[in-house]
Amino acid sequence: MTNIILLGPPGAGKGTQAGMLVEERNMIQLSTGDMLREAKDSGTEMGKIVADVMARGDLVTDEIVIGLIREKLQGDKAGGFIFDGFPRTLAQADALGELMAEQGETLDHVIELQVNDEVLVERIVGRAAEAVAAGGTARADDNAESLKIRLMAYYKQTSPLIGYYHAKGMLKGVDGLGTMDGVKADIAGVLDA
C-alpha cells in the first residue's frame, strides 16, 4: 500500500494523474476539490458556505477540508490514498500528518507536478472552452479572474509545502509539461523505485 500527495498549482494535472493511478493501481483518490464541488452541487449547508469562496478562487477554511479528509481516512484504503489538492496550507499538512499517524499510516511520497504559469493558463482556458462547447457551462472558477486568485493562493499558501516536505525527505519533483502518458511514466518511476 502506498500513500501519496499530488502537489501542484491549478491545471498541473493532479486530477488527471490521480485518475490514472486509481485505474492502474487500485488506489483511492481523495480530491478535496471534488468533495467540495459535490457538497455545493447537492446544496448541503457546507456546500452553500463554500460556493462563493470557491468561485472566487480563494481557499476554503482548513477546518472544513480537514474534516472532509478525516472522514475519508476512516473508509476503504485499497491500494493506498492519493491526496489530490490536499494539503494546501501548512496547517493542513500538519493535520494530515496527525491523522495518518492516528490511522497507523505513513505518507510515502509527495509528488510535485511542475508546470509553468503560461501552460497552466492555457490548460484551464482550454478546459473551460471545451466544457462550454460540450455542455454550455464551465467550472465556476475556470475563468481569468478566479484563476489569477487561485494561482496567487497557490504561491502564497501552498508552495511553502514544497520546503516543508523537502525537509522531511519526501518531496519528488516531476516535470508536468510532458504528455499525460509521459508524466504518468515519471510518476510510476517514483512509485516503483
User: Which one of 40, 72, 88, 184 is the catalytic residue?
Assistant: 88
Which x/- pattern over 103-132 shows residues binding ligand AP5 (rule: CB under 6 A)? --------------------x---x-----
Q: Residue for cell digits 494539503? A: 87
Q: Please identify, among the stretches 74-82, 104-112, 165-173, 177-185, the one whose residues bind ligand AP5 according to the rule CB under 6 A.
A: 177-185
Closer residue to ligand AP5 (CB): 14 or 109: 14
Q: Is 83 annotated as a binding residue?
A: no
| C-alpha to C-alpha distances, 104 to 71, 92, 154, 171, nearest whole angstrom | 15, 18, 30, 21
Annotated active-site residue 150? The verdict is yes
Is position 127 annotated as part of the catalytic site? yes
Going residue by residue from 70 to 99, which x/- string records binding to ligand AP5, judged by CB under 6 A?
---------------xx-x---x-------
Is there a binding annotation on residue 39? Answer: no
> Which residue numbers belong to the known binding site for ATP?
11-16, 127, 178
- Residues that are catalytic: 14, 88, 127, 139, 150
Binding site for ligand AP5 (CB under 6 A): 8, 10-16, 32-33, 36, 53-54, 57-60, 65, 85-86, 88, 92, 123, 127, 141, 150, 179-180, 183
